[in-house]
Amino acid sequence: MVHDVGQALQAGHETGDAELASKAKRGNIDAFGELVERYKERAYMIALGFVGNADDAMDLSQEAFVKAFKAIRSFKDGRDFYPWFYAVLRNTCFNFLRRRKTRKESSLDAAQEYGFDVVDGAPDPAATLLRI
């Protein structure tokens, strides 16, 4: 009987995530590739949930794997890989959203500085009431 969620998730895998992550930490690229294969779909779906755009989600999930590979030396042996990777993915998505928000606000501010009228895309409340 499986008592650990990590064990349950790994039950169908010959080599556990912690072992693969430890091997990757020692320079085994194939071990990291196996982790990518195991989690690429889940990473994409999580990123999609954060950002709401399929192309951005694909880019961000790939970027998170690259960041994880570069930071694998900070992975603590014996720990589950997925929670560590999830933190990398989440932070990658949050940074993207923060940059996107800043960029959007900056572009609107710049447009106003150049004399353009920036139209609010929200429906006019008065027009909405008249339709009711």
Place of tokens 């989600």: 57
Per-residue pLDDT tens listing for the chain (132 residues): 444 444 444 455 568 999 999 999 999 999 999 999 999 999 999 999 999 999 999 999 999 999 999 999 999 988 899 999 999 999 999 999 998 877 665 556 666 666 666 566 566 666 666 665
pTM metric for this prediction: 0.68
CA distances for 53 relative to 40, 45, 46, 95, 101, angstroms: 16, 10, 11, 15, 15
State whether the Cα torsion 56-59-65-68 is positive or negative: negative
Distance CA 117, CA 22 (A): 56
Q: How far apart are the first and last CA of the chain?
A: 59
Q: Which amino acid is at 37?
A: E
